[in-house]
Chains A and B, each alone.
Chain A
Amino acid sequence: MSKSVVAMQEAIRIKKPDAKAEAAARRRARQRRERAIEGGLFVAALISVATTVTIIAVLLSESVGFFRTVPLTDFFTDTLWTPLFADPHYGILPLLAGTLVTSAVGLLVAIPLGTVAAIYLSEFSSPRLREVMKPTLELLGAIPTVVYGYFALIVVTPALQRLWPDLPGFNMLGPGIVIGIMIMPFVISLSEDAMRAVPMVLREGSYAMGATRLQTAWRVVVPAATSGLVAAYVLGISRAVGETMVVAIAAGQNPNLTWNPLEPAATITAYIVQVALGDLPHGSIGYQSIFAAGLVLAVLTFAFNILGHMMRKRFREVY
């Protein structure tokens, strides 16, 4: 507060003999209250830091117990994952393969479709269609994942079995495709943002040279928005890798080291769900194994998220 305002307030109260002291006391009380409120808000903001630290701490501390029993070399080289069997093996590769295959199928669906749809929305569609499509896509992204899991198991897989009659009821292709459709709205929304951030003058320059809309979109807008598009894909990968319910329902529960999407295989997330559904005592190796699996998942998604956000920052800074 500026000095003159304080002086004015004092001048108004000058008639009372103790007005000065009273005003000062009130001012102090108000400052104390303001500081207390700011402190409270700051504590609320700190919760996100605390959550992040706790996630890392919980995953690490439980994994330490796991890696005391299981050497790191076994963890990364053993080709079997059977922690709950009489003859336990702890190789993360089968789960990792399941995660990568379902994510890859998802990305093969989401990236081409999402990019084309985003180019269309950003460069071709009428504003009216865009106004309608954006909320609709948002709705698509808001549907509970367990419903998508049902969809993969009961609708998509039987439809695929008509194409490949010997496709098993649990497989990685069906859930992969559904994951792709699920992350498509996310990819579209981020890619469209990136393309809309390309300045109009670049397009106008291209049109002035006689380029069509498609040529402008493909040779001017997309190259200019590359880092934003890549960011959208990378963040999409992170979503696909962390997707849980679709694969837990429709991809099967058996760890299976294969790169063939027509086979069933458990993913890291599906394994965590499977173990959590049972009743494992705290401190047992099976209990610790879900934290070790979770740690691998967290490291993967953290890496993709950080990469994605770095790329997104770059496209913002260029113009």
Chain B
Amino acid sequence: MAAQSSPHPRPSIGRRKIAEALFKVLGLCSLAIGVGTLVLLFGALLVEGVTRIDWQFLMSFPSRHAAKAGILPAWVGSTLIMLVTAVVGVPLGVAAAIYLEEYARRTWMTELIEVTVTNLAGVPSIIYGLLALGLFVYILGLGENILVAGLTLALLILPVVIVTTREAIRAIPVEIREAAYALGATKWQTVAHHVLPYSAAGILTGIILALSRAIGETAPIVTIGALTFIAFLPPAPITTHPPYVSFDWLLSPFTVMPIQMFGWVSRPGEDFASNAAAAGVLLVGMTLAMNGVAIYLRYRMRKQVTW
């Protein structure tokens, strides 16, 4: 039968096998380009920058002399801004996700919220920068400081937190909720005592991923006047006299790691390039570490949890 329709089946099979083998090589090559880039990128940064990373580099202010310059204000700024971003962005994002998953009825309002969340996730980060410049800096008159940068990045990570938290909450089987209701728990009791604790690992994964995105963001911070040359630290949050806590640092001018790196990349000269590479090593190292933790958490979760 087969012989009638194609008189020489064997050569055709051979050809198809060769095509398949070729495609496999092609596929592996494409993947290798992706992964190879990661290796090449990190390698280039390491070669250029690793010798610059020492205690002096971490603990110095920027300087006109590349060899004396350091990233102290940059990492302090990044840390403080992440603090603001996490304190503002995480509760809002988780709350919004709880509302959408557990409370929201199918109305046009819910539909509108979901559409905007999806859309915000795709808005280029520079647009958030323009939003912050127009809203926080000029309309609300908050100035160009750590608070505004933190709020901007909080808005930026909101969609990420919402989407990942919703996924984590959705993975909790409905029987858990039914059991809680059957024992007389209210909706909020069910959410707070059961749904949230069981999905905590998933939510945490999302939060880490979101913060790792925020820590590397440059564009939205540029527009609200981050400086690349800053020779002082924000005021300390803990003071020696009562009430021992100060929030003056929120209103301090700032710089962050990616901005510092951008400033060095844009300056001509071999020395500044190696400073930029050193900052890049630290940035990439931090992102990889945060993502690694998140991926590990997710992996463990998948292995352990069987409902």
Q: Which residues of A contact B (CB under 8 A)?
A: 1, 5, 30, 33-34, 37-38, 40-42, 44-49, 51-52, 54-55, 58-59, 61-62, 113-114, 116-117, 119-121, 124-125, 133, 135-140, 142-151, 153-155, 181, 184-185, 188, 212-215, 217, 235, 238-239, 241-245, 248-249, 269, 272-273, 276-277, 282, 290-291, 294, 297-298, 301-302, 305-306, 308-309
Contact = CB atoms under 8 A, between A and B. Distances in A.
24 contacts: A34-B186, A41-B98, A44-B95, A48-B120, A48-B158, A55-B127, A116-B30, A120-B31, A121-B31, A124-B24, A135-B295, A136-B34, A138-B291, A142-B287, A143-B284, A146-B216, A154-B265, A155-B41, A212-B19, A241-B124, A242-B123, A269-B124, A269-B219, A273-B219
Contact of A297 (B45, B116, B126, B131): B126
A136 B96 contact: no
Given A42-B103, A44-B95, A49-B113, 13 more contacts: A44-B91, A137-B34, A137-B35, A138-B291, A139-B287, A144-B215, A151-B41, A238-B122, A242-B123, A244-B219, A269-B124, A272-B223, A291-B134
A276 B223 contact: yes
A59 B40 CA distance: 39
A305 B48 CA distance: 38
Nearest to A188: B34
Given A120-B30, A120-B31, A181-B34, A30 B186 contact: yes
B188 interface: yes
Interface stretch (B58-66, B168-176, B231-239, B275-283): B275-283
Grouping DSSP codes into helix (H, G, I), strand (E, B) and loop, the A interface class, with mixed when no group exceeds half, is helix
A33 B188 contact: yes
B301 interface: no
A139 B288 contact: yes
A40 B26 CA distance: 53
A61 B130 CA distance: 12
Interface string B25-67: 0111011011101101100110010000000000000000000
Contacts of A59: 127, 130, 134
A61 B213 CA distance: 29
- Classify the interface of chain B: helix, strand, loop or mixed: helix
A171 to B, nearest CB: 16
Nearest to B119: A305
B230 interface: no
A138 B124 contact: no
B3 interface: no
B199 to A, nearest CB: 15
- Which of A48, A59, A185: most chain B Cβ within 10 A? A48
Contacts of B187: 34, 38
B14 to A, nearest CB: 11
B37 A181 contact: yes
A309 B217 CA distance: 25
Nearest to B94: A44
Nearest to B38: A140
Contacts of A121: 27, 31
A117 B25 CA distance: 10
Contact of A142 (B129, B209, B266): B209
B155 A51 contact: yes
A235 B123 CA distance: 11
B258 interface: yes
B223 A41 contact: no
B27 A140 contact: no
A12 B219 CA distance: 63
Contacts of B247: none
A192 B79 CA distance: 36
A30 B187 CA distance: 11
B265 A37 contact: no
Give the residue among A1, A244, A249 with the most B Cβ atoms within 10 A: A244
Choose among B124, B128, B187, B218 the residue with the greatest number of A CB atoms under 10 Å from its CB: B124
B135 A49 contact: no
B125 interface: yes
Interface in B97-136: 98-100, 103-104, 112-113, 116-120, 122-131, 133-135
A277 B130 CA distance: 13
Given A145-B218, A306-B119, A45 B96 contact: yes
